[in-house]
Amino acid sequence: MKIGILAAGITPDVLQANYPTYAEMFAQQLTDIESRLEFEIYDVRLDEFPQSTTACDGWLITGSKCNSYDDDPWILRLCEFIREVDNNQQVLVGICFGHQIIARALGGTVTKSTAGWGVGVHHYQVTSEIPTLPGATDIAFCAFHQDQVIDKPAKLDVFLTSDFCEFAGFIYKDRILTFQGHPEFSKEYESELVELYDGVTLTPDVANKARHTIKEESIQNKQLMSWIAQFLKP
């Protein structure tokens, strides 16, 4: 099965020597879990779009430093592409920016949150079953965002929520799956981001709290990536 990765962002320049791009993180980790998956990467930030939604069997949209509520031409084109994928009943996965842009494209609202930055390891309440974490009522994985969905599309159901982020995970049947957090991020990579943005976009207090959660909390990223692989394969 061929999965198209719509790369909406890229690893910061200073980290590229030691870490793959966001699209490559998914391709590598998902291939390790499910070898039948094949990937093609499209850099949609540079207006590199597939000719048709039928170019791949399913789609995944990565995170990005861009705002999903902006009206840049490539963002509006991506919204239209998402609606076409949905109309064609293809599988679609969204991560962080991808989670937000899917919500926007399908009728939701995204904005910069008054709660500020969500960074480090975040805990979420599970409101419906996660196949790779049967019986789980609370899970944790890395987050790095300031924007949030504040009004959800009617067709999407919430499966993850928290006091910080009400709409942290969406699902629609066996076709759409989205996460506000980053199941592809290791704690090592999250730590690198915190150090990079401490004093830049993150206040020292936010950065220090993030460091503490990264050091002390366990994450279930491998189980969530396994679920994404299951979701994408036929």
CATH number at residue 85: 3.40.50.880
Catalytic residue flag (residue 122)? no
Total number of domains in the chain? 1
The answer to whether position 88 is within a domain reads yes
- Do the beta carbons of residue 40 and residue 23 sit within 8 Å? no
Would you state the pLDDT for residue 199? 95
Catalytic pick from 56, 99, 165, 184?
Answer: 184
The answer to whether position 59 is within a domain reads yes
- Do the beta carbons of residue 202 and residue 193 sit within 8 Å? no
The answer to whether position 172 is within a domain reads yes
The answer to whether position 124 is within a domain reads no
The three-state DSSP-derived secondary structure of the chain is CEEEEEECCCCCHHHCCCCCCHHHHHHHHHHHHCCCCEEEEEEHHHCCCCCCHHHCCEEEECCCCCCCCCCCHHHHHHHHHHHHHHHCCCEEEEECHHHHHHHHHCCCEEEECCCCCEEEEEEEEECCCCCCCCCCCEEEEEEEECEEEEECCCCCEEEEECCCCCCCEEEECCCEEEECCECCCCHHHHHHHHHHHECCCECHHHHHHHHHHHHHCCCCHHHHHHHHHHHHCC
The answer to whether position 106 is within a domain reads yes
User: Nearest 5°: CA angle at 149, between 163 and 95?
Assistant: 95
Catalytic pick from 99, 122, 145, 182?
Answer: 182
Catalytic residue flag (residue 216)? no
Would you state the pLDDT for residue 233? 87
Catalytic pick from 96, 99, 122, 190?
Answer: 96
Whether the pTM exceeds 0.85: the reply is yes
Q: Which residue positions in the chain have pLDDT lower than 70?
A: none
The answer to whether position 174 is within a domain reads yes
Catalytic residue flag (residue 182)? yes
Residue-number span of the structural domain to which 30 is assigned: 2-111+147-184+220-232
Would you state the pLDDT for residue 6? 98
The answer to whether position 180 is within a domain reads yes
The answer to whether position 93 is within a domain reads yes
Would you state the pLDDT for residue 143? 98
